[in-house]
A and B are shown apart, each in its own frame.
Chain A
């Protein structure tokens, strides 16, 4: 470390920093710092010309590491790491110091104090780079095959899209038949195609592909390895056969369960009270007249938001807080199908908020034209289903009539039920899938990384990650496909080397780091130098540092955030400025 030559480059950001921080004073102070071979200022460090000059300086001064004091690392960490690499030094020997968002912009009226803070921050950056070590990304060769779990429409479409790109696919379905819940649904919005026909078309296409292997009545029972190179085992449901597969990526498309109302919830269980999926099963058989248990149906009352957007209550301690997205449009579409069977049927829709978003608004308008009546009920006063004298009566307060109570006699009450997370304990355990607040699988970020999970190489899609329409499910499964394919077609994956590392001299294996690590297989007990020590598998470690605070010997540290680096940064931040 003593011999290390560090370059400190200070960015004015065209005044964004230099208007509030005396850059020349910072430069002069930093130049005197031990280990700093050169300190320079730039109008815009990120500009092409500045980068060229920095590269020249790095080479001329034979620097080992650099520090750039500029904006937040969120903006230019990758820019300058790439520049470091172009200059010939290791890209992890670069430290970015944030003197804009966390200094000049936050202390605009205290120039002297902001300048002093900038000096300390740059010093800490220098201390960090001085104790840095050159690191190499961990490169893993990828196996050009993918596992798709769940052969509903999302999973089947994913398999075909992967196959299109020349990736071998193992499509595993737990049920005996493919298609999931779609074949039973009948006509799908927005274009009235039969669910069974959609599934059949996909299945025919899959059968024609040589690079798709479909397993029905089978389950994934084991997963080992890491991104790019997983070994999985698939077992037939009857336990007769087990097959070992090697894949580079995994797409999970296991779908949802329809919400099942509790007995008595909006009258559920009484004759004439059915869920939306149950009502859909009655529709295809109906010709001319709708009949329920041999009785003609004249009045249908739909109650929306059953099982969605629930409030916490004593009898329901774990409510479904989310909106199920598909149900408003599905109910409106169902009403159109019912009106198509019998134009004279009376249909009343009791809703909280109508969410027929996008072009599904057309279906809503058409339902109104075909005679559907929409009544909005208040959040805190849901409709009540009663059976005075054996006949169904739904009482509702209509918000648009100032809360006036209306009683509607019904032949059929349809509970517009939402989507619930599927019971999938085995798969969650095998794949170590993160489960979110609503019980669905959790992505890393709903907008920025919507199909990726914390387990590299394992992607989630469709209604398994939250309620979706069919079109949205397919869009998300294709997003998972493009993420997975990008990984596999490249042929290799580079993993961040900023992971935990064990100082085997200091380690005396107590197992605390292994207990603290939530990632399967990342920490192992190995024998080395005549004793047992911990070993961190760099491809499985996520670099969170959860093992760091539990080590009694300070023997485990994260690359880039070692105990020594953090302490040296603290020293540099508090040391007097002379």
Chain B
């Protein structure tokens, strides 16, 4: 089966939870630099990755997304000193909820995306798209 350039309809649908001040500018920068990634990636922005409810992750996957990527604030977070640890706990909880429902926990992924992390973001999207295609 030819796998070259599948149309958007066949590519895994990814929901990205991003943050207004840190990862969003990094994702914006990818666009400003005309770097491309799959159009089936959609972004919802929130103030801080430590404030994402694990139920939202579950909800998105049940609604039809194939994967949820949390573009975490990492060490740059100005509002929560332990933001990375909190975000990691949210991901763990979401993965736990998925396992309970017989879903693959690899559908949730987290990585810190900084305000100039355009290349890392695009490469994460490429890798996650590939990984989800194999699930």
By a beta-carbon cutoff of 8 Å, the part of chain A in contact with chain B is 72-74, 98, 100-110, 112-114, 116-117, 120-121, 124, 434, 444-445, 454, 498, 516, 518, 542-549, 554, 558, 561, 563, 566-567, 569-571, 573-574
Task: Find chain A residues with CB under 8 A from B43 CB.
Answer: 98, 102
Interface residues of B in 2-53 (CB under 8 A from A): 7-8, 13, 15, 20, 24-25, 27-32, 34-37, 39-40, 42-48, 50-53
A549 touches B79 (CB 8 A): no
7 contacts between A and B (CB under 8 A): A110-B39, A112-B8, A545-B52, A549-B90, A569-B44, A570-B63, A574-B65
Whether B7 pairs with A544 at a CB distance below 8 angstroms is no
B37's closest neighbor in chain A, by CB? A106
| Complex-state Cα separation, A121 to B36, whole angstroms | 17
**Residues of B bordering A, CB below 8 Å:** 7-8, 13, 15, 20, 24-25, 27-32, 34-37, 39-40, 42-48, 50-56, 59-60, 63-65, 78-81, 86, 90, 93
Question: B29 to chain A: closest CB distance in Å?
Answer: 8
Tell whether, in the assembled complex, residue B64 and residue A113 are in contact, meaning their CB atoms are under 8 Å apart: no
Which residues of the other chain, A, contact B29 by a CB distance below 8 angstroms? 101
Q: Are B64 and A107 in contact (CB under 8 A)?
A: no
A72-B28, A107-B39 known; A545+B48 contact, CB < 8 A: yes
Residues of B within 8 A of A558 (CB): 46-47, 51
Among B25, B37, B51, point to the contact of A545 (Cβ < 8 A): B51
The residue that A546 contacts in the complex, of B13, B15, B39, B48, with Cβ under 8 A, is B48
Give min CB distance, A489 to chain B, whole Å. Answer: 26
Instruction: Give chain B residues whose Cβ lies under 8 Å from the Cβ of A101.
Output: 27-32
- The reply to whether B28 and A98 form a contact with Cβ atoms under 8 Å apart is yes
Assess whether A544 is in contact with B51, with CB atoms less than 8 Å apart.
yes
State whether B44 touches A124 (Cβ < 8 A). Answer: yes
Q: Residues of A contacting B31 with CB < 8 Å?
A: 100-106
Closest to B61 in A: A570
Q: Which residue of A lies closest to B8 (CB)?
A: A113
Set A544, A561, A574: member contacting B50, Cβ < 8 A: A544
Which 4 pairs across A and B sit closest by C-beta, in order of nearness? A545-B51, A101-B31, A113-B8, A544-B79
Q: Are A570 and B65 in contact (CB under 8 A)?
A: yes
In-complex Cβ contact of A549 among B7, B8, B52, B78 (8 A):
B52
| CB <8 Å contact, B79 and A567 | no
With contacts A124-B44, A574-B63 taken as known, whether A74 is within 8 angstroms of B24 at the C-beta atoms is yes
Inter-subunit contact A544/B60 (CB<8 Å)? no
Give the chain A neighbours of B32 by CB distance below 8 A.
101, 105
Asked if B8 and A116 sit within 8 Å, CB to CB, the answer is yes
Q: Are A116 and B47 in contact (CB under 8 A)?
A: no
Counting chain A CB atoms within 10 Å of each CB, the highest count among B43, B47, B64 belongs to B47
Q: A549-B90, A574-B64 are in contact. Are A544 and B53 (CB under 8 A)?
A: no
- Residue in B closest to A443 when the chains form the complex, CB atoms: B78
Contact A114 B59 (CB under 8 A): no
Tell which of A117, A516, A549, A563 touches B42, judged by Cβ atoms closer than 8 Å: A117
User: In the complex the two chains form, is A545's CB within 8 Å of B47's CB?
Assistant: yes
**Who on chain A is nearest to B125 by CB?**
A106
| A563, B28: Cβ atoms closer than 8 Å | no
A545 with B46: CB separation less than 8 A: yes
B42: chain A residues at CB < 8 Å are: 117, 120-121, 124, 573
B112 to A: closest C-beta gap in Å: 16
Do B35 and A106 have beta carbons less than 8 Å apart? Answer: yes
Are A544 and B30 in contact (CB-based, < 8 A)?
no
Could you tell me the distance between the alpha carbons of A294 and B47 in the complex, rounded to whole angstroms?
A: 65
**A110-B39, A549-B90, A570-B59 given as contacts; is B53 within 8 A of A563 (CB)?**
yes
Q: Shortest distance in angstroms between B21's beta carbon and chain A's nearest beta carbon?
A: 9
State the Cβ distance, A75 to closest chain B Cβ, in Å: 9
A243 to B32, CA, bound (A): 55
Q: Is the CB of B51 within 8 A of A546?
A: yes
Q: What chain A residues lie within 8 Å of B36 (beta carbons)? A: 106-110
